[in-house]
């Protein structure tokens, strides 16, 4: 009897030991490159992302984290001990900003190295926390800490350019045992929520899709008193027109005009069954699209200085989920098995089924193509468009996906220059920091990419990265490869997968988000 019991117990104990070993297995650190006192990039072509001019044969001097001088090669004096980068035949552009991402507690190993390796030097993280540190999602505390370490040259990370609240969506998105004010069920909750996030050094309230119109309005009107703004989804039950007029500063995803510009747009704002109606009306949104309505809304967006982040990569995934050429992506080697097989796996299966069904055949592809046409319309009217990827959604890859989004924006009808602007100067303006970022100019922060080929000739040349300067620190091509290899190796490790799994199942925020 005793022996039987031990036989039964052994494998359980073994598994538990394995599990805890994985959970507490120490994570290795990535070494930040040495910061040179002075860097001289010699004889390089500077791309002016405002005018599109190519300024050839330039020397750029970087001291600390700033560009301190730019001029014709050999016309400026650099100190003799400057670290010299040969820029002959190469091109310099500002670091790219991904304006829609989701970081988590594992981003320093799984995402940050890939962002830097791909020239993404700034990100706007669109998720956050309530009043407790979450096991999975990060909040302003973690992100601001990372920013400080970046400035001290102690951490490899893009800069977190704005701080987001948790996704505010009414009662359904708030787990039990958190303060009631997060649910925004009463008028007085509005001020409690805004002052809470102001104290947390948050910059904007991320609004989500099910927030009720009356409370959304109160939130929008009160936010400026706290120097906060609203950004995120167009709430389903609020018209785009009202949301623009109430001052929401950025609208996310490719569907915003589709929701508004078809005959049944009003019934989609029905709080009870909007999800079912959305599927039912998807076809009509494309076929019965009324450009006049869309043009009015786009004009209103431009007049009110509201920005659009279409995140085409998410619609592209839905459109191509049934194609093995799309699904067998070589970048999957950077993704943990937990995410690949569980989270993304389920998503692939569902979308594939939809795409191969009789009524769903071609529908997601049409939707993706319709969004691209609307990007062109919005651009022609003058709506500021920002590049965003929605990392870590299905088949979006930290760093890599921004180059796909750039390519898709040109396929939508933006010029190569306009596309570069959507990831550089336009986001810098959105954040109100165009004096510090967004172009290669004297006095600006030295976040830049050295490219082998000219992206104004062909936008795919944005991938020909030779080196990256991040906050004045130089990453050569060997270092950039090391960053990619680091994430590849850690994402396939047993211990990282255990850590991700445990943090997901321990997060009350993840539980309500999945239940929704
Ligand atoms: Zn998102």
SS (H, E, C) 149-175: HHHCCCCCCCEEEECECCCECCHHHCC
Report how far ligand 1's centroid is from the alpha carbon of 6 (Å). Answer: 49
How far is residue 272 from each of residues 44, 68, 134, 239, measured CA to CA in Å?
A: 59, 58, 30, 16
Q: What is the Å distance from ligand 1's center to 252 Cα?
A: 8
pLDDT tens for each residue of 177-198: 999 999 999 999 999 999 999 9
Ligand 1 mean position to 102 CA, how many Å? 6
238-255 tens-digit pLDDT: 999 999 999 999 999 999
pLDDT in tens, 337-383: 999 998 899 999 999 999 999 989 999 999 999 999 999 999 999 99
The CATH code of the domain that includes 289 is: 3.20.20.140
C-alpha dist (Å) from residue 73 to 167, 443, 448, 494: 49, 18, 18, 51
The Cα–Cα gap between 463 and 387 comes to 15
- Cβ contact 471:151 at 8 Å: yes
CA 489 to centroid of ligand 1, rounded, Å: 26
| pLDDT single digits (tens) 471-509 | 999 999 999 999 999 999 999 999 999 999 999 999 999
Among 438, 435, 432, which Cα is nearest to 229's? 432
pLDDT at 344: 95
The answer to whether residue 144 sits within a structural domain is: yes
In SS3 terms, 205-234 reads as EEECCCCCHHHHHHHHHHHHHHCCEEEECC
At 501, phi and psi to the nearest 5?
A: -60, -50
Cβ neighbours of 445 (radius 10 Å):
24
CA of 115 to the centre of ligand 1 (A): 17
Phi, psi of 40 (to 5 degrees): -120, 115
Model confidence over 196-207: pLDDT tens digits? Answer: 999 999 999 999
206: which strand partners?
Answer: 231
Q: Tell me, what's the pLDDT at 1? A: 58
Tokens standing for 258? 């589709």
Check residues 269 and 405 and name the one with the higher pLDDT.
405
Task: Report the alpha-carbon distance of residue 279 to residue 275 in Å, rounded.
Answer: 7
**pLDDT, position 268:** 86
As for how many domains the chain has, the answer is 1
- Which residues, 6+ apart, have CB-to-CB distance to 391 below 8 Å? 98, 101, 102, 111, 397, 398, 401
Neighbours of ion ligand 1 (CB under 5 A): 126, 390
Q: For residues 139 and 255, what is the distance between their CA atoms, to the nearest angstrom?
A: 27
Closest CA to 118 of 62, 158, 66: 158
Distance from the CA of 371 to the center of ligand 1, in angstroms? 17
Dihedral sign for Cα atoms in the order 124, 125, 128, 133: negative
pLDDT for 516 equals 65
Give me the sign of the Cα torsion angle 166, 139, 117, 434: positive
Flag whether 82 is in a domain: no
Task: Kindly state the tokens that stand for 440.
Answer: 């290669």
Ordered strands of the 307-309 beta sheet: 204-207, 229-232, 250-252, 307-309
Average pLDDT of the chain, as a whole number: 95
In a domain, 413, yes or no: yes
pLDDT value at position 434?
A: 98
Q: Which domain holds residue 112?
A: 96-437+477-486
Contact 414, 375 (CB under 8 A): yes
**415 Cβ partners below 8 Å, 6+ apart?**
none
Using alpha carbons, list the distances in angstroms from residue 192 to 127, 264, 496: 19, 37, 37
pLDDT computed for residue 192 by the predictor: 98
Model pTM score: 0.96
Q: Is residue 492 part of a domain?
A: no
Cα-based distances in Å from 296 to 73, 260, 293, 302, 315: 49, 11, 5, 10, 24
The answer to whether residue 73 sits within a structural domain is no
55 within a domain of the structure (yes/no): no
Rounded to the nearest whole angstrom, what is the distance from the C-alpha of residue 397 to the centroid of ligand 1?
13
d(CA 308, ligand 1 centre) in Å: 13
Distance 187 CA to ligand 1 centre (A): 27
Closest-CA residue to 65 (of 499, 447, 452, 412) = 447
The DSSP letter of residue 343 is: I
Ligand 1: centre distance to CA 99 (Å): 10
Whole-angstrom distance, CA of residue 328 vs CA of residue 349: 14
> Looking at the domain assignment, is residue 166 inside a domain?
yes
Rg (CA), the chain: 24
Per DSSP, the three-state class of 92 is strand
226 within domain boundaries: yes
């Amino acid at each position: 009897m005793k022996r039987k019991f031990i036989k039964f117990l052994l494998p359980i104990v073994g598994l538990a030991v394995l599990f805890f070993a994985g959970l507490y297995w120490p994570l290795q650190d990535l070494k930040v490159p040495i910061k040179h006192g002075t860097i001289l990039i010699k004889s390089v072509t500077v791309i002016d992302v405002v005018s599109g001019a190519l300024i050839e044969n330039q020397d750029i001097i970087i001291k600390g984290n700033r560009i301190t001088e730019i001029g014709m090669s050999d016309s400026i004096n650099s100190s003799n001990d400057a670290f010299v980068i040969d820029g002959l035949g190469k091109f310099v552009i500002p670091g790219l900003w991904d304006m829609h991402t989701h970081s988590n507690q594992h981003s320093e190993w799984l995402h940050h190295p890939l962002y830097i390796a791909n020239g993404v030097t700034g990100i706007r993280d669109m998720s956050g926390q309530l009043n407790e540190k979450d096991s999975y999602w990060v909040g302003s505390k973690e992100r601001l800490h990372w920013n400080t370490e970046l400035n001290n040259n102690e951490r490899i990370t893009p800069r977190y350019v704005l701080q987001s609240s948790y996704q505010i969506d009414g009662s359904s998105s708030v787990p039990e045992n958190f303060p009631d004010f997060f649910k925004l069920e009463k008028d007085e909750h509005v001020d409690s929520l805004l002052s809470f996030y102001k104290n947390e050094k948050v910059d904007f309230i991320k609004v989500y899709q099910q927030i009720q119109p009356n409370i959304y309005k109160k939130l929008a009107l009160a936010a400026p008193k706290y120097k906060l703004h609203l950004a995120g989804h167009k709430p389903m039950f609020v018209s785009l027109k009202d949301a623009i007029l109430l001052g929401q500063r950025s609208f996310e995803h490719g569907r915003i005009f589709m929701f508004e510009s078809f005959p049944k747009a009003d019934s989609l704002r029905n709080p009870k069954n909007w999800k079912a109606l959305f599927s039912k009306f998807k076809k009509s949104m494309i076929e019965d699209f009324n450009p006049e309505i869309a043009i009015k809304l786009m004009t209103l967006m431009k007049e009110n200085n509201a920005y659009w982040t279409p995140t085409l990569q998410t619609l592209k995934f839905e459109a191509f989920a049934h194609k093995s050429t799309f699904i067998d992506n070589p970048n999957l080697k950077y993704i943990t098995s937990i995410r690949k097989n569980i989270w993304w796996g389920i998503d692939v299966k569902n979308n594939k089924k939809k795409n191969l069904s009789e009524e769903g055949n071609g529908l997601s592809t049409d939707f993706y193509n319709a969004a691209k046409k609307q990007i062109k319309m919005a651009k022609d009217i003058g709506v500021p468009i920002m590049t965003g990827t929605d990392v870590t959604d299905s088949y979006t890859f930290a760093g890599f996906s921004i180059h796909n989004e750039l390519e898709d924006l040109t396929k939508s009808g933006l010029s190569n220059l306009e596309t570069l602007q959507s990831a550089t100067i336009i986001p810098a303006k959105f954040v109100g920091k165009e004096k510090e970022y967004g172009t290669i100019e004297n006095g600006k922060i030295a976040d830049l990419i050295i490219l082998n080929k000219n992206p104004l000739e062909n936008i795919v040349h944005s991938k020909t990265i030779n080196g990256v300067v991040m906050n004045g620190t130089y990453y050569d091509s060997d270092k950039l490869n090391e960053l990619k290899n680091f994430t590849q190796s850690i994402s396939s490790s047993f211990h990282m997968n255990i850590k991700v799994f445990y943090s997901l199942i321990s997060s009350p925020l993840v539980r309500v988000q999945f239940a929704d």
